[in-house]
Amino acid sequence: MTFKAAAIQMCSGVDPQRNADTMARLVRDAAAQGAVYVQTPEMTGALQKDRVGLRAILRDESADLIVARAGELARELGIHVHVGSTAIARPDGKIANRGFLFSPTGERLSSYDKIHMFDVDLDNGENWRESSAYEPGSQARVVELPFATLGFAICYDVRFPQLFRAEAMAGAEVLTVPAAFTRQTGEAHWEVLLRARAIENGAFVIAAAQAGIHEDGRETFGHSMIIDPWGKVLASAAGTGEAVVLAEIDVSAVKAARGKIPNLKNAREFTLEQSAGKAGGVAA
């Protein structure tokens, strides 16, 4: 089974309407080039550091502009549209960093809340406390589509290989990592982490990214890419600017890679023993 996939690179600002229009234009471009699965980046709807400003544009998913537009696009174009994520108001007053997958009929097939929160102090003085605004998810997701089985993740999740291993063991052939990686961490780790997740799980990785300098002042790394199960980068974008990254996905390559390196099959349970070192030594 083969299908054409697209990763959409954006530079989302603070206005959801403008971002929705950009998303629609790029998704249509991808579909016109034959993509039947199109993924957008993390925080497609808005990148907004100011919490007051963010809450002013928040909606629950039934009223969210990006969610509605993505469903319409999927139905209009007859493709699967995966909103990498957008900020969603939860009933408890908290915020979810939530991704959505829509079928070619416009039906919402699944959603995924980012599990791991990016709470970090960087060397350049930047500090991020994602948990101060967002409620982490607790449920991994795997969805079987007509052409492949997808596993879900968002951005910082890429640093937690146990999530991807669990999804691969559950049958995921394509691992998805929409992101808004900072420029500093992206330069150091983005590609190597994505390729590692592909190699260690014998799976394709599709990663749509935010790219460039945003209205709220942050800078994201870009370099959206699609990687095969052997760790080869099939297609990638630059570090700035909008882009549509396309690749033909041959799902049989997953079985081939896992046959050559059967680490999923060879995995074993084990226990961990921790011992204290003994002081002392041989007298001179």
Annotated catalytic residue: which of 11, 155, 167, 173?
155
CA 171 to chain centre: 18
| Alpha carbons 170 and 141: distance in angstroms, whole number | 10
Neighbouring residues of 104: CB distance < 8 A, sequence distance ≥ 6: 74, 75, 77, 78, 79, 80
Cβ of 276: how many Cβ atoms within 10 Å?
Answer: 5
Q: Alpha carbon of 5 to those of 85, 139, 142, 275: distances in Å?
A: 18, 25, 17, 49
Q: What 3-state DSSP class applies to 89?
A: strand
Q: Alpha carbon of 260 to those of 168, 202, 251, 257, 265: distances in Å?
A: 16, 9, 15, 5, 11
Annotated catalytic residue: which of 4, 11, 42, 173?
42
| Alpha carbons 137 and 154: distance in angstroms, whole number | 11
Residue 187 is among the residues annotated as catalytic for this protein: no
Which residue in the block uniquely carries the two structure tokens 């011992």? 275
- Hey, which residues does 5 pair with through a beta bridge? 37, 247
Annotated catalytic residue: which of 11, 114, 167, 219?
114
**Angle between helix 16-32 and helix 65-77 axes, rounded to 10 deg:** 20
Give φ, ψ of 260 to 5 degrees: -75, -40
Q: Are 37 and 5 in contact (CB under 8 A)?
A: yes
Residue 42 is among the residues annotated as catalytic for this protein: yes
Residue 155 is among the residues annotated as catalytic for this protein: yes
Q: Which residues are known catalytic residues? A: 42, 114, 155
